[in-house]
Amino acid sequence: MPPRRPRTRPPAALAAPDGRFLPVDGVAVHHRVTGPTDAPAVVLFHHFYGSTATWRHVQDDLSRDHLVISFDRVGFGLTERPPRSAWIERNPYTREMSARIALALLDDNDVEVATLIGASAGGTAALETFATAPDRVRGLALLSPAITGDVGAPPRLRRLLRSRLVRPIGARVVQRVAGEVSRDRVARSWHDPQRATDDDVDAYARPLQVDDWEHGFWDVMTAEPPPDLRGLLPRIDVPTLVVAGASDPVIGPGWNRRTADAIPGARFHLLHDVGHTPHEERPDLLLPVLRRFLGDVAED
């Protein structure tokens, strides 16, 4: 299948019928809320380059008996990409903003506590949400979480790359490098790329139709230094599950096992013949693991 070169459009024109937008610190955040309002709540944090759409299999299944909230972090999906001139006090492309969005969505849905599920860089955002408001978190499920790594330029270069002179050049580079989506690119970190479908491609191609997507992507990559959450792990005091793909080429299972070992009482589960994003490649293998964990959390 040839790569797609989409034209840009306003986010609201691209949203699905159940897509919602909530203003948080002046940013229109695209999100989905599904499932019974009186059921235990779950918040989904997508991986770098992902979106609410990349959670579709997990969200639709868990929504049978959970209130499930997914959202597009600023710079991804259909969430607004504000230019620097529109920032209100703080940079909206940070992990701190992701935590504020998650808490605002809980408040908007009258949810007191929730289990957070995060994949890769979304695991980082879930952990930082826990660090911000531990009393709002019932449990953590982390799929190959990025504990010390990040995507973007070295820290010493980020200030330069955010400058007015360099930013337009960076956005053009992003457009050239990331502006085409194919099955090969979508499934590059999967165990079996042949499992990728047109729906998987569309989940990544649609956000590239949003106005100014390339500038938002660049702002994410240059927003802040990479995380180092190793000091947080021993302080986590809620039930935690760490899931790894045995064929993950991005964050290997050995690293994920060390992450689980550093969290008091955490469980570790290895999925065989699975790569970096099991919620996309093999939701049939991942969902039973998540359901067992969520059931145990509900009983605690």
Q: What is the pLDDT of residues 29-81, one digit of tens each?
A: 999 999 999 999 999 999 999 999 999 999 999 999 999 999 999 999 999 99
Instruction: Report if residue 162 sits inside a domain.
Output: yes
* Helix H or strand E encompassing 186: helix 183-186
Q: In order along the chain (300 residues), what is the average pLDDT of each group of 10 residues?
A: 57 92 96 97 96 97 98 96 85 94 98 98 96 98 89 60 66 71 92 96 92 85 87 98 97 96 98 98 98 93
Query: For 27, phi and psi rounded to 5 degrees?
Result: -110, 130
- The percentage of the chain sitting over the pLDDT mark of 90, rounded to a whole number, equals 72
Tokens of 172: 């053009």
Domain count, the chain: 1
Does the residue 86 lie in any domain? yes
- Backbone phi and psi for residue 237, each to the nearest 5 degrees, phi listed first: -125, 25
Contact 255, 226 (CB under 8 A): no
Q: What's residue 2's pLDDT?
A: 43
Q: How many CA atoms lie within 13 A of 101 on its CB side?
A: 31
Residue-range definition of the domain harbouring residue 275: 11-299
Q: Is residue 76 part of a domain?
A: yes
Specify whether the CB–CB gap between 194 and 275 falls below 8 A: no
- Quote the tokens at residue 185: 């690119």
For strand 240-245 and strand 114-119, is the pairing parallel, antiparallel, or unpaired? unpaired
Tell me, what CATH number does 41's domain have?
3.40.50.1820
- Nearest by Cα to 219 from 95, 27, 84, 21: 84
The full length of the chain comes to 300
- The whole-angstrom separation of Cα 282 and Cα 277 is 8
Distances (CA, A) of 59 to 66, 105, 190, 208, 283: 9, 16, 20, 22, 10
Contact 140, 130 (CB under 8 A): yes
Give yes or no for a contact between 154 and 213, defined as CB atoms under 8 angstroms apart: no
Distance CA 116, CA 45 (A): 8
Instruction: Give me the pLDDT at residue 264, please.
Output: 98
The pairing of strands 240-245 and 27-34 is unpaired
CA atoms within 13 A on the CB side of 81: 24
Residue 3 lies inside a defined structural domain of this protein: no
Residue 212 lies in a domain: yes
Determine the Cα angle at 47 with ends 253 and 270, to 5°: 25
What confidence score (pLDDT) does residue 93 get? Answer: 93
**pLDDT (tens digit per residue) in 157-172:** 666 666 666 666 776 7
Cα separations in angstroms, 233 against 88, 128, 244, 267: 31, 11, 17, 13
Q: Which residue, 97, 95, 142, is CA-closest to 120?
A: 142
Q: Which pLDDT value is given to residue 3?
A: 45
